[in-house]
């Protein structure tokens, strides 16, 4: 009877993380769309065959990287928004803090360059990002799941727009979110509470 390697799954997860970390380092220096699998394999210290064992394509690697980073931003926001009970304030603060977190991370900011905003395309198609934002919105005021998903997709589009085409300053972006996003995204009960 063959023994099962009880650490195999852990080693696999560590290897995938190492590859994503190496990709993140490259994304800090170059536009994500310009980096090929050979460069990522070299930076990770593995062969292309090993890289393809973990990520079947560059798109799959991009998706895994963006999803990992979206979850990290979501965790950061959870800490930042703790104690903010007013739905309107929580929404505006959540959106502005998420945008600031992306901008403050060179590897993430690179995804929203004006020449090739690959991050916007991935964010728009990502079920993971939509579900993270929908869960955030549901926490503001429970709405039906389909409405929460539509609202989440709208918030993702607004955030992508502000990442690619920033406002003049933080105050203007906050005002835009307060005036044009909060009234549409928040259910009436939550708007009235703010």
Model confidence band, residue 181 (pLDDT cutoffs 50, 70, 90): very high
Fold of 58-187: Tetracycline Repressor; domain 2 (1.10.357)
Which pair of tokens denotes residue 93? 């603060």
pLDDT value for 8: 63
Burial class (CB in 10 A: 0-12, 13-18, 19+), 62: buried
pLDDT value for 66: 93
pLDDT in tens, 105-151: 999 999 888 777 777 778 878 888 989 998 888 878 767 888 888 89
Predicted structure pTM score: 0.85
pLDDT in tens, 66-119: 999 999 999 999 889 999 999 999 999 999 999 999 999 999 999 888 777 777
pLDDT value for 188: 57
- Do the beta carbons of residue 89 and residue 82 sit within 8 Å? no
Pairwise pLDDT comparison (121 vs 1), residue with the higher score:
121
Question: Taking the C-alpha atoms of 45, 105, 168 and 162 in order, what is their torsion angle to the nearest 10 degrees?
Answer: 80
Mean pLDDT, range 138-167, rounded to an integer:
88
Domain boundaries in the chain?
A: 58-187
pLDDT value for 2: 59
In this structure, of 37-41, 129-133, 171-175, the range with the lowest mean pLDDT score is 129-133
């Amino acid at each position: 009877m063959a023994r099962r390697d009880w650490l195999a799954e852990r080693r696999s997860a560590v290897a995938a993380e190492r590859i994503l970390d190496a990709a993140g380092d490259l994304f800090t220096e170059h536009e994500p769309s310009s980096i090929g699998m050979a460069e990522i394999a070299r930076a990770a210290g593995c062969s292309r065959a090993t890289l393809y064992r973990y990520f079947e394509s560059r798109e799959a690697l991009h998706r895994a990287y963006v999803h990992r980073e979206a979850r990290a931003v979501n965790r950061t926001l959870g800490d930042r928004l703790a104690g903010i009970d007013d739905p309107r304030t929580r929404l505006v603060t959540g959106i502005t803090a998420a945008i600031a977190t992306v901008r403050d991370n060179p590897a993430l900011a690179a995804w929203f360059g004006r020449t090739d905003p690959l991050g916007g395309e991935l964010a728009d198609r990502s079920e993971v990002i939509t579900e993270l934002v929908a869960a955030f919105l549901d926490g503001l005021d429970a709405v039906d799941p389909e409405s929460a998903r539509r609202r989440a997709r709208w918030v993702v589009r607004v955030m992508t727009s502000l990442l690619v085409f920033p406002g003049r300053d933080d105050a203007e972006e906050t005002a835009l979110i307060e005036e044009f996003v909060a009234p549409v995204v928040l259910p009436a009960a939550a708007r009235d509470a703010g």
